[in-house]
Amino acid sequence: MENMTQTTSLEKAQEKLDIFLDNIKTVVLSTVSSDGEPFASYSPYVQDEDGNFYVFISTSVQHSHNMYNTGKAHLLFIEDESDTKHIYARRRLYFRANAEKFDENDERTEKIAQLFEERFGKQASLVRNMPASRFYKLSPYDGNFVIGFGAAYKLDESNRKVKELNTMNGMAHGETHELGLKKDA
């Protein structure tokens, strides 16, 4: 019975993840320079059929330099503050990702540009003509989806689907928070 309940729980978590990603239009990008200086910004994004994310950014901005030099980024998709029931339990999805900058005449550009235009319409068309901007492919790995207290899920690296409840020392995500709160009381 527990295994069936766990499967149902994972299926519900996957449904929530799919809806969440459909409704979030931007990603917070955390990067680090080659000399270790952190930097955070955001960008509109699209996702392809393989679960890779794409951003279109100016080559002159800091996170473009950082991703180009390190090939890495951390992605955070987070629920709007006005939509959350508890400020400490905002729904969020985060990944570490490998970052690959498209060359100027990359053959994948047209396909990804179409995804942006389908999602963002005329705004994407206007931005696309910026000469010093490029697409970055962000291939995620090591992902977690946090629905709220006690509901944090690890994602499967091969297909980026909800895999299992995220535990620490055998306890669910929220149970570790409760222990910390009791210690501080």
pLDDT tens figures, 75-113 = 999 999 999 888 888 999 999 999 999 888 889 989 999
pLDDT the model gives residue 36: 94
pLDDT the model gives residue 131: 76
pLDDT the model gives residue 46: 96
pLDDT the model gives residue 69: 95
Report how far residue 47's alpha carbon sits from residue 35's, in angstroms, rounded to the nearest whole number: 30
pLDDT the model gives residue 166: 85
| CA distances (Å), origin 142, targets 57, 97, 99, 118, 126 | 24, 8, 14, 28, 34
Global pTM reads: 0.83
Give the residue ranges of DSSP H helices in the chain.
Answer: 2-23, 62-70, 109-120, 122-128, 173-184
pLDDT the model gives residue 71: 96
SS3 147: strand
The residue ranges of the chain whose pLDDT is under 70 are 1-8, 168-185
Both tokens assigned to 26 = 């931007």
Looking at this protein, which amino acid is placed at residue 92? R
Report how far residue 3's alpha carbon sits from residue 167's, in angstroms, rounded to the nearest whole number: 16
Looking at this protein, which amino acid is placed at residue 130? M
Q: Look at strands 38-44 and 53-58 and give their pairing.
A: unpaired
Fold classification of 2-184 is Pnp Oxidase; Chain A (2.30.110)
Identify the residue whose tokens are 């989806």.
145
